């Protein structure tokens, strides 16, 4: 018999599948139930497909085949998230234009995906850097612009010196650039902002509607960071003009603890607070204050936090009035108060806030205990408790105190969020051009749908200078003047690539439509995504942004649903055998190509699914893939054991096991428990081998069950049995429930909860009968000598537990 040779069969079936257009979905077929199965699409890196892609693909491909065989109309598209920095950096190094290197990389990716036998539908080529795609990114931007969901702001932004561009808050990890690890600086750069904060509440509340991993939901909630509290106004007075009713201003503060208001002994403003400039004439030490502000501006956020202890400067000449007790309290500025959160000002309560306590200790400020608890002269007491030193409110507790004091000082209950608006301007070349032009007097205007796609110019040098490369494009400049008139200028920034990936799942539904980003019918039929598979590293970025896009698009009437991804699961990370992340610099990268060459696509895919549960990391240990390869080999070799007559032994034992396996594999795939599904198949194969014979029917059932995991091998064996249709077009096997139940079972006999005997009995044996057998058993009897039986617990079909004293 011929040996299992993956090289021979895999190429052959890949070609046949391609030639018959097997993986193309008829999106208009309403006769079957739809299933939208989505992969997070890849960035087509020049290095080609890595193991992470391979694992994700193995997961969705298995599911695609399973659901299709189960009669669903499965949409399983794939595209490329092809704008981005690596291609541009590569261009700077080599002179090869990003559009060229991107095209080459996409070709490589597709070839590698084919060599894994992946059933992707590439219809319409959804490639974000192609004008027929980014035209619609710009269209949506235009709609957002018209509906005031995007605005331009000159504010402090996160600047990465190495990437020479602004990046969004979500793209800063521990004060460093998420992409290159460079420390982020604060820089004032005019930037287009998406109003994601308008949707903060919906982004939190609608998390109740999705079936996502708990940690991902928690991360999103945490990122949005909603906190409820009160906004309270403090009057500001000047020492020079210390006369009645001579209020300079108000300071608004946000606090989650208005119940501690009587303990507020000073006010702290962020260095950027507007009051400082407004009260300049009244502030007597303005020079000193100015120095502090300038110093603070120079620090990065990291440095502000890391710096030893808190710093600050008192604003001499002015003071605030605590509205609870009308006490005059000093005003400080300090960079421990953030300008971007709340109103950029706090009421400091040193007795009950660690930061305020530290500040008060350093500057010798009054500490008044207003919640009874710890020793507030030693450290701040943070918890809830009974109010003291709070006038008529003494004795109140928690919520009631919060409510009453807020009412008393005419405060307002408000919510604040950690989430900031999404800055999307990038001072780089290889991104979607922002479709905005400026009038001669500097007013921004959307270029208009008739001018889309607003093409990315090609006459540009990419060397980063900190200035957007598009500024240097003559073509763009001329284009703008030609269309809009003399003196009009283009926007030179491009968009964050996360914008491109915030709506691609809609384009897949109708990728060849040149009238709309997708037809209303297609969206209605296919959305939302039934199952989304991708890495957990996107919990605060891509997923948040895509959800925002859907909510914003719904608000302006472009679509009519509010959550894009109903069910989401993450695959783990593929690590090397000592558990390190694979990376080029560590030199521990394993290439899928090499694995396909050595073990085949089937073994590579099945191994990734077998070796650990979906969401756990994969330790890539080559010693282990052998086991899966041997298993596939065994399935191949079983051919020689096929018999054409009815065999009593085989029927009884194997048939029952086959039906049990159908049940187990079907249920496990649905629950994404691929590792145990494959082990169930291994058990079946081991048993068939042991019996030394297998009927054609059972063998066919085995390879059908195997086909989602090892499609090439299954297809080859299926054809060798004389079948003409692809195995993918077969119905998924059904099991006979009766056959999955054992008539004879092993029943456990325990004494005081310890296993003492196992008896073979009918599955439905009565308690009385079990007791009789158990009490006769020598193994049991010896434990009962001289003991009193207190009670007997019987669990039908499982065990009998005799409790003795």
Partner RNA sequence: GCCCGGGUGGUGAAAUUGGUAUACACGAGAGACUUAAAAUCUCUUGGGGGAAACUCCGUGCGGGUUCAAGUCCCGCCCCGGGCACCA
- Which is nearer to RNA, 214 or 514 (by Cβ)? 214
**Which span (96-104, 251-259, 514-522, 556-564) binds RNA, by CB under 7 A?**
251-259
* Interactions with RNA, residue window 133-172 (CB under 7 A): none
Using DSSP bridges, classify how beta strands 531-535 and 34-39 pair: parallel, antiparallel or unpaired: parallel
Which one-letter DSSP state was computed for residue 183? B
- In this structure, the dihedral spanned by the alpha carbons of residues 783, 784, 789 and 795, taken in order and rounded to 10 degrees, is 50
Q: Other CB atoms closer than 10 Å to residue 237's CB: what's the count?
A: 20
Q: Cα separation of 519 and 507, whole Å?
A: 9
* Interactions with RNA, residue window 533-592 (CB under 7 A): 536-537, 539-540
**Which span (233-241, 521-529, 622-630, 702-710) binds RNA, by CB under 7 A?**
622-630
CB of 49: closest distance to RNA in angstroms?
22
- Which is nearer to RNA, 18 or 222 (by Cβ)? 222
- Which is nearer to RNA, 110 or 663 (by Cβ)? 663
Residue 621 CA neighbour count, 13 Å, CB half: 12
Q: What is the DSSP string of 103-150?
A: HHHHHHHHHHHHHTT---B-TT--BTTSHHHHHHHHHHHHHHHHTTSE
Binds RNA (CB under 7 A): choice among 201, 461, 616, 736: 616
* Interactions with RNA, residue window 497-536 (CB under 7 A): 536
CB of 63: closest distance to RNA in angstroms?
17
Q: Other CB atoms closer than 10 Å to residue 74's CB: what's the count?
A: 26
**Which span (136-144, 439-447, 476-484, 620-628) binds RNA, by CB under 7 A?**
620-628
Cα dist. 41→52, 56, 77, 128, 501 in Å? 12, 10, 9, 10, 8
Position 801 contacts RNA (CB under 7 A):
yes
* Interactions with RNA, residue window 321-350 (CB under 7 A): 335-338, 341-342, 344, 346
What value, to the nearest 5°, has the Cα angle with vertex 315 and ends 314 and 317? 125
Q: Which two tokens stand for residue 650?
A: 């085989």
**Which span (195-203, 446-454, 608-616, 698-706) binds RNA, by CB under 7 A?**
608-616
Binds RNA (CB under 7 A): choice among 119, 270, 370, 606: 270
Binds RNA (CB under 7 A): choice among 297, 399, 630, 781: 630
Position 304 contacts RNA (CB under 7 A):
yes
* Total interface residues for RNA by CB under 7 A: 80
Residue 658, SS3 per DSSP: helix
- Using N-to-C axis directions, what is the helix angle for 622-637 and 592-610, rounded to 10°? 80
- Which is nearer to RNA, 416 or 695 (by Cβ)? 416
CB of 360: closest distance to RNA in angstroms?
13
- Which is nearer to RNA, 301 or 384 (by Cβ)? 301
Residue whose entry in the numeric block shows the structure tokens 């030609």: 482
- Which is nearer to RNA, 337 or 523 (by Cβ)? 337
Position 173 contacts RNA (CB under 7 A):
yes
Binds RNA (CB under 7 A): choice among 301, 384, 593, 655: 301
- Which is nearer to RNA, 219 or 730 (by Cβ)? 219
Position 798 contacts RNA (CB under 7 A):
yes
Contact between residue 265 and residue 366 where contact means Cβ atoms under 8 Å apart: yes
Contact between residue 236 and residue 247 where contact means Cβ atoms under 8 Å apart: yes
Position 254 contacts RNA (CB under 7 A):
yes
* Interactions with RNA, residue window 666-725 (CB under 7 A): 673, 675-676, 678-679, 682-683, 686, 689-690
- Which is nearer to RNA, 696 or 793 (by Cβ)? 793
Is the four-CA dihedral 505, 509, 514, 519 of positive or negative sign? negative
Position 619 contacts RNA (CB under 7 A):
yes
* Interactions with RNA, residue window 197-226 (CB under 7 A): 214-215, 218-219, 222-223, 225
Position 59 contacts RNA (CB under 7 A):
no
Position 96 contacts RNA (CB under 7 A):
no
Position 307 contacts RNA (CB under 7 A):
yes
Position 626 contacts RNA (CB under 7 A):
yes
- Which is nearer to RNA, 178 or 481 (by Cβ)? 178
Contact between residue 316 and residue 285 where contact means Cβ atoms under 8 Å apart: yes
CB of 313: closest distance to RNA in angstroms?
14
Is the four-CA dihedral 271, 275, 280, 285 of positive or negative sign? negative
Position 789 contacts RNA (CB under 7 A):
no
Contact between residue 778 and residue 784 where contact means Cβ atoms under 8 Å apart: no
CB of 674: closest distance to RNA in angstroms?
9
- Which is nearer to RNA, 626 or 649 (by Cβ)? 626
CB of 638: closest distance to RNA in angstroms?
11
Phi (first) and psi of residue 494, to 5 degrees: -110, 175
Query: 279: which residues sit within 8 A by CB, 6+ positions away?
Result: 236, 238, 248, 249, 315, 318
Contact between residue 528 and residue 37 where contact means Cβ atoms under 8 Å apart: no
Position 746 contacts RNA (CB under 7 A):
yes
**Which span (394-402, 477-485, 589-597, 747-755) binds RNA, by CB under 7 A?**
747-755
Position 285 contacts RNA (CB under 7 A):
no
Q: What is the enclosing helix (H) or strand (E) of 675?
A: helix 674-691
Using omega within 30 degrees of 0 as the cis cutoff, is the peptide bond preceding 551 cis? no
Task: Give the length of the chain.
Answer: 805
Position 628 contacts RNA (CB under 7 A):
yes
Position 753 contacts RNA (CB under 7 A):
yes
Contact between residue 571 and residue 535 where contact means Cβ atoms under 8 Å apart: yes
Binds RNA (CB under 7 A): choice among 111, 474, 734, 779: 779
Q: Cα separation of 188 and 592, whole Å?
A: 44
Binds RNA (CB under 7 A): choice among 729, 758, 762, 789: 758
Contact between residue 506 and residue 527 where contact means Cβ atoms under 8 Å apart: yes
Contact between residue 182 and residue 167 where contact means Cβ atoms under 8 Å apart: no
């Amino acid at each position: 018999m011929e040996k299992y040779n993956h090289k021979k069969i895999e190429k052959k079936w890949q070609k046949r599948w391609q030639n018959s257009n097997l993986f193309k979905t008829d999106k208009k077929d309403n006769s079957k139930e739809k299933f939208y199965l989505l992969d997070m699409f890849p960035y087509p890196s020049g290095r080609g497909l890595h193991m992470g892609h391979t694992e994700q693909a193995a997961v969705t491909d298995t599911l695609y085949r399973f659901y299709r065989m189960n009669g669903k109309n499965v949409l399983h598209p794939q595209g490329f998230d092809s704008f981005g920095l690596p291609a541009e950096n590569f261009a700077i190094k080599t002179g090869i234009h990003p559009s060229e290197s991107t095209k080459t990389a996409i070709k490589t990716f597709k070839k590698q995906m084919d060599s894994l036998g992946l059933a992707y539908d590439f219809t319409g080529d959804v490639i974000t850097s192609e004008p027929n795609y980014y035209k619609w990114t710009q269209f949506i931007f235009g709609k957002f612009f018209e509906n005031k969901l995007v605005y331009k702001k000159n504010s402090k932004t996160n600047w990465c010196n190495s990437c020479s561009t602004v990046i969004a808050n979500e793209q800063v990890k521990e004060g460093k650039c998420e992409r290159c690890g460079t420390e982020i600086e604060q820089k004032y750069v005019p930037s287009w902002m998406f109003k994601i904060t308008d949707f903060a509440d919906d982004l939190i509340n609608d998390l109740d509607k999705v079936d996502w991993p708990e940690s991902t939901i928690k991360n999103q909630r945490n990122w949005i960071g909603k906190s409820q509290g009160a906004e309270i106004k403090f009057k500001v007075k000047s020492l020079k003009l210390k006369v009645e009713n001579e209020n300079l201003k108000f300071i608004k503060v946000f606090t989650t603890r208005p119940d501690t208001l009587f303990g507020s002994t000073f006010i702290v403003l962020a260095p950027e607070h507007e009051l400082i400039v407004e009260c300049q004439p009244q502030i007597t030490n303005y020079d000193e204050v100015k120095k502090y502000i300038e110093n603070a501006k120079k620090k990065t956020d990291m440095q502000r936090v890391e710096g030893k202890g808190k710093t600050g400067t008192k604003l001499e000449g002015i003071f605030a009035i605590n509205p609870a007790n009308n006490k005059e309290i000093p005003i400080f500025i300090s960079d421990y108060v953030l300008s971007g959160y709340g109103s950029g000002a706090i009421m400091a309560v040193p007795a009950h806030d660690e930061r305020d306590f530290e500040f008060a200790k350093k500057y010798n400020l009054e500490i008044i205990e207003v919640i009874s608890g710890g020793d507030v002269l030693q450290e701040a007491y943070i918890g809830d408790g009974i109010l003291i030193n709070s006038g008529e409110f003494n004795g109140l507790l928690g919520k009631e105190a919060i409510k009453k004091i807020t009412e008393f000082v005419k405060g307002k209950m408000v919510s604040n969020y950690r989430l900031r608006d999404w800055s999307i301007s990038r001072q780089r070349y290889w991104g979607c051009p922002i479709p905005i032009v400026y009038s001669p007097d500097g007013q921004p205007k959307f270029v208009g749908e008739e001018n889309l796609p607003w093409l990315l110019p090609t006459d540009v040098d990419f060397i980063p200078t900190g200035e957007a490369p598009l500024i240097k494009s003559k073509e763009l400049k001329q284009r703008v003047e030609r269309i809009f008139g003399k003196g009009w200028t283009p926007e030179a920034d491009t968009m964050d690539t996360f914008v491109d990936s915030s709506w691609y799942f809609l384009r897949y539904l109708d990728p060849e439509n040149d009238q709309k980003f997708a037809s209303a019918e297609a969206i209605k039929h296919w959305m939302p995504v039934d199952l989304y598979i991708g890495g957990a590293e996107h919990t605060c970025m891509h997923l948040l942004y895509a959800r925002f896009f859907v909510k914003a698009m719904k608000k302006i009437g472009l679509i009519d649903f509010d959550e894009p991804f109903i069910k989401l699961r993450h695959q783990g990370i593929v690590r090397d055998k000592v558990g390190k992340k694979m990376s080029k610099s560590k030199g521990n990268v394993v290439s899928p190509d090499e694995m396909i060459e050595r073990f085949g696509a089937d073994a590579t895919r099945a191994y990734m699914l077998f070796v650990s549960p979906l969401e756990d990391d994969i330790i890539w240990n080559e010693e282990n893939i052998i086991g899966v390869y041997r298993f596939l080999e065994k399935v191949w070799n079983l051919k020689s054991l096929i018999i054409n007559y009815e065999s009593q032994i085989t029927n009884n034992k194997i048939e029952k096991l086959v039906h049990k396996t159908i049940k187990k594999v079907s249920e496990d795939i649905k629950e994404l428990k691929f590792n145990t599904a494959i082990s169930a198949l291994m058990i079946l194969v081991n048993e068939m081998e042991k019996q030394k014979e297998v009927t054609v029917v059972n063998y066919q059932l085995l390879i059908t069950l195997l086909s989602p995991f090892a499609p090439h091998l299954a297809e080859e064996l299926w054809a060798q049995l004389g079948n003409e249709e692809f195995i993918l077009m077969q119905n998924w096997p059904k099991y006979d429930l009766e056959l999955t139940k054992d008539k004879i079972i092993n029943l456990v006999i325990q004494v005081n909860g310890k296993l003492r005997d196992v008896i073979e009995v009918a599955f439905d044996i009565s308690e009385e009968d079990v007791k009789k057998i158990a009490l006769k058993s020598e193994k049991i009897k010896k434990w009962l000598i001289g003991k009193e039986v207190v009670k007997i617990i019987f669990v039908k079909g499982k065990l009998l537990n005799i409790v003795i004293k």
